[in-house]
Homo-oligomer: A and B are copies of this chain.
Amino acid sequence: MKINYGEIIAKVETFDIRFPTSLQQDGSDAIHTDPDYSVAYIVITTKSGKKGYGMTFTLGRGNNIVCCAIETLKFILENKSVDEIYQDFGGFWRKLTSEPQLRWLGPEKGVLHLAVSALISSLWDLWGRLERKPVWKLLSDMTPEFLVSLIDFRYCTDVLTKDEAIELLKKSSEGKGKRERDLLDSGYPCYTTAAGWLGYSDEKMIELCKKYMNKGFNAFKIKIGQNLESDIKRCKLIREIIGYDNVLMVDSNQIFDVQQAIDWMTELKDFNILWIEEPTSPDDILGHAKIAEALKKYGIKVASGEMICNRVVFKQFMQAKAFEYCQVDSARIGGVNELLLVYLMARKFNIKVCPHAGGVGLSEMIQHLQFWDYVSVSGTKEGRYIEYVDQQHEQFVHPAIVNNAHYFPKMSSYGFNTELTDDCVRKFAYSNGEKWQKLFNANVFPRPS
């Protein structure tokens, strides 16, 4: 691929953007009871004035810590030639994730990796804009050799080497053009989580299920895990509404210990549940493997990934058969470069990627990887969905497009779909934005000290 843009990164700006979603209990689950959906938002500007936008998602409190991490890391980007970055993006990615002093704070996990993710996404957004392509198309047009140069294989060569990855991509290249046209025509299927947040009443859940069925959805996910009796009641209720032809998933957001997850799900075995998502700690590979094994006889699969911290842990989930559905998140691990490796490993292990997208900007970003996977890697949509929650999409200049329960790519939105509207930044900047000032003045939220 020819890289000759001649751009230098002049500045990296960081914004703490928060939405007061806890007011409506949107996004509430067994563990995260009152999230204020937020993003640590980045604008990079080149010397000639070109822009790239990046972000990572958080639940409100602590978004400032991620912003602080971005501010501390950004010296690695500033004054760099973008040509040098894209010519050896795998090497640059390692530089960013392995800064010898900062590495101690991870490595490659938590706050620091969220910050890396935001920075990396701004570089991909910029790249797509420079190439006048959406990121999924930029990826799909790369040669296998070049694509693989974007990836740092460190700690994963025991399951996938660079050469094997090139072979996988070459094998999948047949039929790419046809799949690309299909994608543009038919889109990519999604499921909805928005009907079953734990804080919602039964009435609200019923109303929302009907709304989404009318919109063409055939797969629904609800939150469980605080009260078994109430979970049974909710499962019954939702099955009455959606019937048994539609798909039902449940999500317990890490509330259980290993044996408890097995026991709880055994009580729900008659509801034909496709997957139990996050039954326990996202760090517990062996625990997930035990749960997956125990629930096999009920046809309940294990799904996890939104809080799996990096490719090394994903690798082991795959090695240990700890999940059947890989729900990688676009903004928790180190951005597109690391995501590529997770998708390639999933291909090797024949694991379905059904990415996490419940959060601000996560749909906008992850759709690119899933589109690329269909066109260039797995070559199939069979049994796969992208998550969909219709919150905060209106804050984006180019929001994800979802029609009839399918995501649709748009050739004319260049980059990574990560740009927020100016209006959004003005209103929701924390804590000086207009919306927050109003909420503080009305004593709805305490003014931060």
Q: What separation, in Å, do the CA atoms of A166 and B28 have in the docked complex? A: 36
Residues from chain B with a CB closer than 8 A to the CB of A184 are none
A100 with B31: CB separation less than 8 A: yes
Evaluate contact between B281 and A155: CB separation under 8 angstroms: yes
Most-contacted residue by chain B among A99, A284, A319 (CB, 10 A): A284
Q: Is A258 an interface residue (CB 8 A)?
A: yes
Chain B binder among A3-11, A110-118, A396-404: A110-118
Contact A312 B283 (CB under 8 A): yes
- Structural contact, A316 and B284, CB atoms closer than 8 A: yes
**A107 at interface, CB cutoff 8 A:** yes
| Contact pattern, A 256-287, Cβ under 8 Å of B = 1, otherwise 0 | 01111000000000000000000011111111
Contact indicator per residue, chain A 410-437, by CB within 8 Å of chain B (1) or not (0): 0000000000000000000000000000
Which single member of B59, B104, B111, B281 contacts A100 (CB below 8 Å)? B59
A155 in contact with B72 (CB, 8 Å): no
Contact A35 B65 (CB under 8 A): no
Q: Would you give the shortest CB distance from A100 to chain B, in whole angstroms?
A: 5
Measured CB to CB, the closest approach of chain B to A403, in angstroms, equals 30
Instruction: Determine whether the beta carbon of A69 is less than 8 Å from that of B59.
Output: no
Copies of this chain: 2
Min CB distance, A309 to chain B, in Å?
7
* A287 partner, pick from B68, B155, B258, B280, beta carbons under 8 A: B155
With A100-B59, A112-B65 in contact, do A157 and B284 touch (Cβ < 8 Å)? no
Q: In this complex, what residue of B is CB-closest to A287? A: B158
Asked if A351 is at the interface of the complex by the 8 Å CB criterion, the answer is no
Q: How far is the CB of A355 from chain B (nearest CB, A)?
A: 17
Interface of A is mostly: loop
Q: Report the minimal beta-carbon distance from A30 to chain B, rounded to whole angstroms.
A: 10
Q: Is the CB of B155 within 8 A of A284?
A: yes
Q: Is the CB of A109 within 8 A of B110?
A: yes
Give which listed residue, B59, B312, B319, contacts A281 with CB less than 8 A: B312
Residues of B within 8 A of A157 (CB): 257-260
Most buried by B among A62, A156, A316: A62
Contact mask for chain A residues 296-326; partner B; CB cutoff 8 A; 1 contact, 0 none:
0000000000010110110110011000000
A310 touches B283 (CB 8 A): yes
Instruction: Give the residues in chain B near A254, CB-CB below 8 Å.
Output: 107
Least distance between A56 CB and chain B CB atoms (Å): 10
Minimal Cβ-Cβ distance residue in B for A18: B101
List chain B residues, Cβ under 8 A from A259: 157-158
Judge if A79 is at the interface, Cβ distance under 8 Å.
no
Q: How far is the CB of A137 from chain B (nearest CB, A)?
A: 31
Q: How far is the CB of A322 from chain B (nearest CB, A)?
A: 10
Q: Is A33 an interface residue (CB 8 A)?
A: yes
Cα A25 to Cα B106 with chains together (Å): 22
A290 within 8 Å of B by Cβ? yes
Among A58, A68, A316: residue with most chain B CB under 10 A: A68
Interface centre among A65, A104, A157, A282 (most CB of B within 10 A): A104
Query: Would you call A154 an interface residue if the criterion is a C-beta within 8 Å of the partner chain's C-beta atoms?
Result: yes
Q: What is the 8 Å Cβ interface bit string for chain A, positions 42-66, against chain B (1 contact, 0 not)?
A: 0000000000000000111110111
B residues near A111, Cβ cutoff 8 Å: 65, 69, 105, 110-112
The 8 A-B pairs with the shortest beta carbon distances in the complex, nearest first, are A110-B110, A111-B111, A61-B101, A158-B258, A155-B281, A283-B312, A59-B104, A59-B101
Known: A31-B103, A158-B290, A286-B320. 20 other contacts (CB 8 A): A31-B100, A32-B103, A60-B101, A61-B101, A62-B72, A62-B105, A65-B68, A65-B69, A65-B112, A104-B307, A108-B283, A109-B109, A109-B283, A110-B113, A110-B309, A158-B257, A283-B312, A283-B316, A285-B316, A286-B319
Cβ contacts A to B, 19 pairs, < 8 Å:
A31-B100, A32-B101, A33-B100, A34-B101, A35-B101, A35-B104, A58-B101, A62-B101, A64-B72, A105-B111, A107-B254, A107-B282, A154-B281, A155-B257, A155-B283, A158-B257, A158-B259, A283-B313, A287-B312
